[in-house]
Structure 1
Amino acid sequence: MEERPEIIAKITRRLLPFVGIIYLIAYIDRQNVSYAKLQMVGDLGLTEFAYGLGASLFFIGYFIFEVPSNIILERVGARRWFARIMITWGIVTIALAYTQNATMFYILRFLLGACEAGFFPGVLYLLTIWFPFKYRGRMVGSFMFYSAIANAVGAPIGGAMLDLNGTLGLKGWQWVFLVTGLPAVIAGIVTLFYLDDRPENAKFLDASEKQWLRSTLEQEDRASGKTLHTNPFKALLDRRVLILAIWYVSLPLGAYGISYWLPTIVKSFGVSNTVNGLLNIIPWAIVALALWGTPKLAARTGQTTAFIAGPALFGALCLVLSVYLPGDWVKFGCISLAAAGIFAAQPVFWTLPSSFLTGASAAAGLAVINSVGNLGGFIAQNAVPLIKDWTGSVEAPMLFVAACVFVGGVMTFVVLAYLAKHRDEVTLAAGATRTAG
């Protein structure tokens, strides 16, 4: 099949900025609690552990509803389902501004996870039906680039909103939730009019362009012997999916362990809320560069293992150094580099499931991996404040996070060897079948 880079460029211009901006909004709404925490813990009388539990309940709701949400998306289409996801999570975020006690905080964080469930793996599935395999690593990296921008943008917004404390009779942490929740509702409404469900429905592609994309993707599926289960829920029992899900836990654990705790670490430097927010732009600018460059290098060299294990192990090392090296700014620099390594490993990782799954099985498989993996966020948000309470140090929890990321980095070699062995077995079996026929 001939290359048609102009079609890929057209799809990229139409799709990536839009889903990226939506992800930016989603990520801000997921992370805003890390800034609200700086005031709401005292206002609501929460302990660090109670806050961590409430914040982490997001991932329980996410875990329970992720797979059903992605299967529904595959059946009803991205346009309507993404709109539903965004509008409901925006409403819940706004409701968090009126939290009265710990119980209400727990319930709303759980609901936020339930509402947002299916968005991230839904976009990953969307990329499998719009882009040939060779482009997906770069597309996932470009998409995740917006998570770094979200942290960079969310940081000064969160700090500035906290400094509105008392304006119009509202606390600063209430402003954080109000200002970050409304854009999700607006974006959900816009999605209904802008997003196309599938390439065959796209008005911006002509008939020949749609035919080229369909033929290319079908040819890829045939050539790689991808799996399409008769029932998409069978993807939950696919050993390759389960292994990837367990392996993936380490990366969200590291990412959320850093992103949720970073504002608290910077606050220990003795800076104001606004300065805290501005300083937090720095690590996410570094993460953005890593997310932009790593998938491109991986695609150019054809290496997968090096661009997953390498960044992860580098991130683990930097976290350890952040604990033992002296000086606030040295610690801050190490954590910034650690965040870059942990995030940079993820775009290349997300090319793996679509290398052996297709159709509804890909939608379900991606959801399983993301939902199980994101339990790492639940672990991080409970373990990190608990270790802080035990040790009295804001840096010590980073050793736990570093250990988990290190294990994930080492697992890369084992998991990719297993996937390669399975792929070889499938190829041999297909060859034997053709010979017998």
Structure 2
Amino acid sequence: MISPQQTLRRIAWRLMPFLFALYIFAYLDRVNVGYAALAIQRELHFSNTVYGTGAGLFFLSYALFEVPSNMVLLRVGPRRWISLLMVVWGAISCMMPLVHTPAAFYTLRFLLGAAEAGFFPGIVLYLTYWFPQAQRARAIAGFMSAATLSGVVGAPFSAVLLRLDGVFGVSGWKWLFVGEGLPSILFGAIAFFVLLDSPAAAAWLPADEREWLLATLAAENLHPGRRSHLRDAFRNSVIWQLAFIYFAISAGLYSLSMWLPVLLKRISHGSDLRVVTLTAVPYIFAAIAMLAIARSSDLRQERRRHLAAALVFATLAFALSGLFTQHVIATILLFVAVISIWGCLGPFWAVPTSILQGDAAAGGIALINSVGALGGFCGPYLMGIVSDRTHSFYGALLVSAGLLLMAAVVAVRLPADACSS
């Protein structure tokens, strides 16, 4: 007698730790420029506008290359494509110490975005090959919680690398990029030998469990309400609503990811290393929130209210954080913003994976992430340009709050049948 829970537990223990590790380094290579921001701006004399533009440019190329990258993954398989992407972006990260001008900074950030573009949507698609709809929010949230752990581990790790400042005459921020780029190259090589393209090739899964999983996924893919062609994703109004929601989420999320050390420095006036280490704190609670909200969403088979509630909390935290001059209150509100905005991602990503399959799933997931990537550009860019012109970050925080509030309204109005399994 097959136990579905036992089968899925076996799959989770086999796949998730490795995918978790991959995403830690993917996310760290994406946002470590935030940890290096204070040192880069000081040494290279970059203004907030230059830094914000470079930080955000990653997401323009990320948006441009996501859909094509996911379509390539469908053709060549996850194993080959994901391992190649990791090696390439790790190498680009290791080239960051060569930056001396804004043009070089912009170029490498753009190339890094192009290389990373296919990773996240590719893994979300990959998880649909292994987990049925009812367990998908928890699987996705478990994978995405690696990004929050990246903040927990990455902040002190980055602080250690920054302490190498002056070793062999090399600046600490340069050690940071090399030290965090090399693991991506290593794990990319390992991924080629560890990842499987489908459950059919999983020799470690007993034959009866493998057959049950393949039959279950095949039955879900035959559901008449699910779309399977790429054009269906672009014609689906729910996908475009989700794309707007993710635009707002990404604008807020990456505003904080790229600027949190700078914001905390301005609030607390602490040392660079103390500030970088402090940024780890909210990500501990964000990981807990992600898993708890995703579990609740899966158990209740409900997505809209879970998503909207987290967005409302994030809206309030963004809007209020700039009103308080007392650094403890302002810091707590920024931490609440981080926790809330990460907490919504499990139920959010469970929606498109439940209504699309095949080419439509690959294209739809990448489309949503591409539009979200534009938010990832706008958020950090606005933080830089607004702070340079007004000498305050509050205006940019209010823009993010407004976007998140609109996203909460759209989330509540999503069709009920698209938000339940």
CA distance in 2: counterparts of 1:258 and 1:175, whole angstroms:
23
Structure 2 stretches lacking a partner, 5+ long? none
CA contact (8 A) 1:312 1:405 kept: yes
* Offset at residue 382 of structure 1 (A): 0.8
What per-residue deviation string (whole Å, max 9, x for no partner) do you get for residues 302-349 of structure 1?
A: 321110000010111012221123411111111111111111111101
1:214 is aligned to 214
1:333 is aligned to 332
CA distance in 2: counterparts of 1:388 and 1:418, whole angstroms:
43
- Three-state SS of the structure 1 residue aligned to 2:415 is helix
Moved more, 405-414 or 81-90: 405-414
Moved more, 186-195 or 46-55: 46-55
Moved more, 391-400 or 259-268: 391-400
What per-residue deviation string (whole Å, max 9, x for no partner) do you get for residues 175-200 of structure 1?
A: 11111100000000100111111101
- Three-state SS of the structure 2 residue aligned to 1:97 is helix
1:415 is aligned to 414
2:197 is aligned to 197
2:289 is aligned to 290
What per-residue deviation string (whole Å, max 9, x for no partner) do you get for residues 83-119 of structure 1?
A: 0010000000000121121111111101001111111
2:124 is aligned to 124
2:254 is aligned to 256
- 2:267 counterpart of 1:247: no
- 2:45 counterpart of 1:48: no
2:374 is aligned to 375
Moved more, 294-303 or 393-402: 393-402
1:280 is aligned to 279
- 2:177 counterpart of 1:174: no
CA distance in 1: counterparts of 2:353 and 2:280, whole angstroms:
33
CA contact (8 A) 1:224 1:356 kept: no
- Three-state SS of the structure 1 residue aligned to 2:228 is coil
CA contact (8 A) 1:136 1:351 kept: yes
CA contact (8 A) 2:244 2:371 kept: yes
* Offset at residue 8 of structure 1 (A): 0.2
- Three-state SS of the structure 2 residue aligned to 1:352 is helix
CA distance in 1: counterparts of 2:244 and 2:157, whole angstroms:
34
CA contact (8 A) 1:241 1:353 kept: yes
- 2:119 counterpart of 1:98: no
Residue correspondences, number: 419
1:265 is aligned to 263
Moved more, 206-215 or 152-161: 152-161
- Three-state SS of the structure 1 residue aligned to 2:95 is helix
1:235 is aligned to 233
CA contact (8 A) 1:91 1:181 kept: yes
TM-score, normalising length from structure 2?
Answer: 0.96
* Offset at residue 201 of structure 1 (A): 1.1
Counterpart AA for 1:389: D
CA contact (8 A) 1:157 1:277 kept: no
1:35 is aligned to 35
Moved more, 267-276 or 311-320: 267-276
* Offset at residue 42 of structure 1 (A): 2.7
1:433 is aligned to none
* Offset at residue 3 of structure 1 (A): 5.1
Moved more, 213-222 or 124-133: 213-222
What per-residue deviation string (whole Å, max 9, x for no partner) do you get for residues 43-86 of structure 1?
A: 22321111111111111111111111111111211111110010
CA contact (8 A) 2:351 2:418 kept: no
* Offset at residue 233 of structure 1 (A): 5.4
Counterpart AA for 1:244: L
CA distance in 2: counterparts of 1:363 and 1:369, whole angstroms:
10
| Structure 1 runs (4+) greater than 4 angstroms displaced | 417-420
* Offset at residue 222 of structure 1 (A): 2.7
* Offset at residue 234 of structure 1 (A): 5.3
Q: Matches of residues 40-189 of structure 1 in structure 2 within 5 Å?
A: 40-189=40-189
1:323 is aligned to 322
1:19 is aligned to 19
* Offset at residue 224 of structure 1 (A): 5.1
TM-score, normalising length from structure 1?
Answer: 0.92
Moved more, 35-44 or 141-150: 35-44
CA distance in 2: counterparts of 1:398 and 1:246, whole angstroms:
18
CA contact (8 A) 1:16 1:143 kept: yes
CA contact (8 A) 2:322 2:394 kept: yes
**Counterparts in 2 of 1:386 and 1:418: CA distance versus 1, 3 Å:** farther
CA distance in 2: counterparts of 1:225 and 1:214, whole angstroms:
19
CA contact (8 A) 1:224 1:355 kept: no
- 2:347 counterpart of 1:348: yes
Moved more, 239-248 or 197-206: 239-248
Provide the identity percentage.
Answer: 35
Moved more, 249-258 or 322-331: 322-331
Structure 1 stretches lacking a partner, 5+ long? 424-437
CA contact (8 A) 1:56 1:378 kept: yes
Q: Matches of residues 358-369 of structure 1 in structure 2 within 5 Å?
A: 358-369=357-368
Moved more, 121-130 or 243-252: 243-252
